[in-house]
Amino acid sequence: SSETKTKSSERSSETKDLIIDIIKQDPHITAAEIAMQLNMSSRGVEKQIRKLRELGKIKRTGGRFGGYWEIVILDKE
């Protein structure tokens, strides 16, 4: 139903906001560590991170190891 669709997209945008907040606090954090903080699967977190990257909100600088996240666009609130 459209009601569950709205709920999951609301949850996913909340999740994205939480991920951005977590990255702001620790740019060197891993997806697995974010998943533990949010009590989510790392697969779910990686999916959200991929969407954030596609939206141009975050980017990864450096390699897989020793790299860090950069917040590209902060929503004007």
Quote the percentage of the chain above a pLDDT of 70.
Answer: 86
Average confidence (pLDDT) over 35-59? 95
Confidence of residue 64 (pLDDT cuts 50, 70, 90): confident
Distance CA 30, CA 20 (A): 12
Q: For residue 13, what are its two tokens?
A: 């945008």
The third-level CATH classification (topology) of the domain covering 2-71 is: Arc Repressor Mutant, subunit A (1.10.10)
* HSE toward the beta carbon, residue 57, CA cutoff 13 A: 18
Rounded Cα distance, 73 and 56, in Å: 7
Structure tokens at 74: 């902060």
User: Domain extents for the chain?
Assistant: 2-71
Percent of the chain beyond pLDDT 90? 68
For tokens 């790392």, the residue is: 42
Helix 31-38 vs helix 2-25: angle between axes, to the nearest 10 degrees? 120
Mean pLDDT within 60-67? 86
